[in-house]
Amino acid sequence: MNENNGIFIGFRRRLLPIVAISLVINVLVITKPAEAANLFGPDTSFGENGSAVLSGSARKMATQSDGKILVAGAIVNGGEGCQVARFNPDGKPDTNWGDAGKVIQVTPGVLCVPETVYVQPDAKILVGGTFWRGAQSHWFILRLSSNGLLDWSFGRDGIAEQYADNPAWGTALYSMDLQSDGKIVAVGTNGVSSNNGSMSNAALSRFNTDGSLDRSFGNTGVVDISLPGEAIHTCNGCYSGSWGYGVKIQPDGNAIVFGDYYPDNNSSAADLRIFLARYKSGGSLDTTFGDAGIVTNPGRVSSTHTQISSRPIVLQSDGKILISAGMPGGGVYVARYSIAGLLDPSFGALGKVSITEPDTGMNNLTFLAQQPDKKY
């Protein structure tokens, strides 16, 4: 899925089912390309003449097992808050869901930025992201029942919130996954402060099935991810901080976290590195993974940390891990790691496949998936 500040356009082909969205000036458009003669023309059987349109903005999308399409975004012209819409597989609004196909959650004075949508096995829907109250931000997760109503048994009136150490400094939730027991593991950033200043720090949290913070995880339910050399910058024009963009729960309950960070307190923009970390179900680092629990490599998840969304991480059925990252100077690469956190030399060139498109400015991927035939 591509995100930018313009239009959301999605494409779906019958032979390779892919749905993606992009956003243009307060309007969501999902289109389905036609088959055969005109692969890149609209499929007029989808929505209205090939497009499904929703007023507002959109950030994330998920497809249910029955083919229905969920879209989460912010309210642009109707006030502050979030909206979630559901479309039938044919692109028509599902008017039997929510209020004529939409759920709108308005909190006065709060800007809502959804970043991730997850459909639970019981068909309840989790939407996670960031609430902004003025200059202060914090995490939120809301849960909808299968009929599109807020699930009041979750959090406070259907919404769970988590506040940062320093809510004025880059706090955001970017991704989440579900454990087999229904607990929710979320990753993002936590604003932290010291005598030297403030920075964003990658963080991992776990919520109980009722939306309360699981304080048996780590020390307080929140684990700040410590990375080699990371420190608050002390010089003008320097960069510091870390960001957690993806999380996947392995079958054994361990959590794989993917993100990027600056490796010291006087880094330049070009010094950004990616990291993988593995945490045990109790919230401690799994030191059998990589180098004492952490793997780092040159590269970036994105060229900017301003309102970007969760980034792809894929767990194969054999336990191997795929991620994508931007390369310094342009282009992207896809890397595969073993279950122990080592680059897999049987994949590409020593574990990596590089993709370059001259003069395009391409420096990150937003979608990565494995097909049934194990191609990507």
* Residue 35 is assigned to a structural domain of this protein: no
CA dihedral 216, 296, 178, 93 (to 10 degrees): 140
Instruction: Tell me the C-alpha distance between 219 and 52, whole Å.
Output: 46
Cα 275 to chain centroid distance, Å, stands at 16
Which residue, chain included where needed, has tokens 């410590």?
226
Instruction: Find the radius of gyration of the CA atoms of the chain.
Output: 20
d(CA 96, CA 104): 15
In a domain, 185, yes or no: yes
CATH of the domain at 204: 2.115.10
- Count of beta carbons in the 10 Å neighbourhood of residue 197: 13
Q: Range of 65's domain? A: 60-314
pLDDT of residue 124: 96
**Which residue's structure tokens are 């109707």?**
78
What does DSSP assign to residue 59?
-
Whole-angstrom Cα distance, residue 26 to residue 274?
33
pLDDT of residue 19: 44
Residue 319: inside a domain: no
Q: Is residue 206 part of a domain?
A: yes
What pLDDT, on the 0 to 100 scale, is given for residue 320?
Answer: 95
pLDDT at 234: 58
Q: pLDDT truncated to tens, each residue of the chain (376 aa)? A: 333 332 232 333 333 333 444 333 344 555 555 554 455 567 788 878 778 777 777 788 898 999 999 999 877 655 578 889 999 999 899 999 999 898 888 776 778 888 899 999 999 999 999 888 777 788 999 999 999 999 999 999 999 988 766 555 668 899 999 999 999 999 998 876 555 555 678 899 999 999 999 999 998 899 988 887 766 555 566 667 788 989 999 999 999 999 888 877 666 666 778 899 999 999 999 999 999 999 987 655 544 443 334 467 899 989 999 988 766 666 777 889 999 999 999 998 888 887 776 555 555 666 677 777 777 7
Q: Find, among 306, 290, 184, the residue nearest to 243 by Cα.
A: 306
Count of CB atoms within 10 A of residue 338's CB? 18
Q: Which residues contact 375 (CB under 8 A, 6 or more apart)?
A: none
Does residue 219 lie within any of the structural domains?
yes
Identify which of 120, 207, 114 has the alpha carbon closest to the alpha carbon of residue 156: 207
User: Is residue 188 domain-resident?
Assistant: yes
- Evaluate whether residue 202 is within a structural domain: yes
Q: Which residues of 341-361 are buried (b: 16+ CB within 10 A; e: fewer)?
A: beebeebeeebbeeeeeeeee
- Write the CB contacts of 118 (distance below 8 Å, at least 6 apart in sequence): 62, 125, 126, 128, 176, 177, 178
Residues with Cβ within 8 Å of residue 38, at least 6 apart in sequence: none
Q: Among residues 91, 141, 153, which one has the least CA distance to residue 116?
A: 141
CB 42 within 8 Å of CB 32: yes
Is residue 178 one of the residues assigned to a domain?
yes
pLDDT of residue 366: 65
pTM: 0.82
Number of domains in the chain: 1
Torsion-angle region of 14 (φ positive above 0: left; ψ -120 to 50: alpha; else: beta) = alpha
